[in-house]
Amino acid sequence: MDNKAERLVYVTRNNVLGLLSPTEIARVALAESAPMIEGEEYLDLAQLDAGVRRALDTTPSQHALPRRLLSTKTWLDILSAMARSRPSAP
């Protein structure tokens, strides 16, 4: 990955985290070691370019941002921010 792509991922991850309310940040922090719910939607903060994923098992992930911990507005704001940050085709 080149520096420009690395910066894009970093900025996007920071933008995503910046959209969370203090309450949502606390929920995410508390749930970091909690099991995922099989089939639930989440974003992998380490691989945001993969988009929304569904948990295939209940293994906790320190990079997972489960949809169930966020308000609908925050989830939609995050998806919108991710769409805006994608590089345009050449």
pLDDT of residue 11: 62
Please tell me the predicted confidence (pLDDT) of residue 36.
87
Element holding 76 (H helix, E strand): helix 72-85
- Token pair, residue 49, equals 């370019």
Per-residue pLDDT of the chain (90 residues), as tens digits, is: 566 666 666 667 888 889 999 999 999 888 877 888 889 999 988 888 888 999 988 776 778 899 999 999 999 999 988 887 766 555
Q: If you compute the radius of gyration of the chain from its CA atoms, what whole number of angstroms results? A: 13
Domain count, the chain: 1
* Residue range of the domain that includes 15: 3-85
3-class state of residue 16 by DSSP: helix
pLDDT at 77: 93
CA dihedral 48, 49, 54, 58 (to 10 degrees): -50
Asked whether residue 90 is domain-assigned, the answer is no
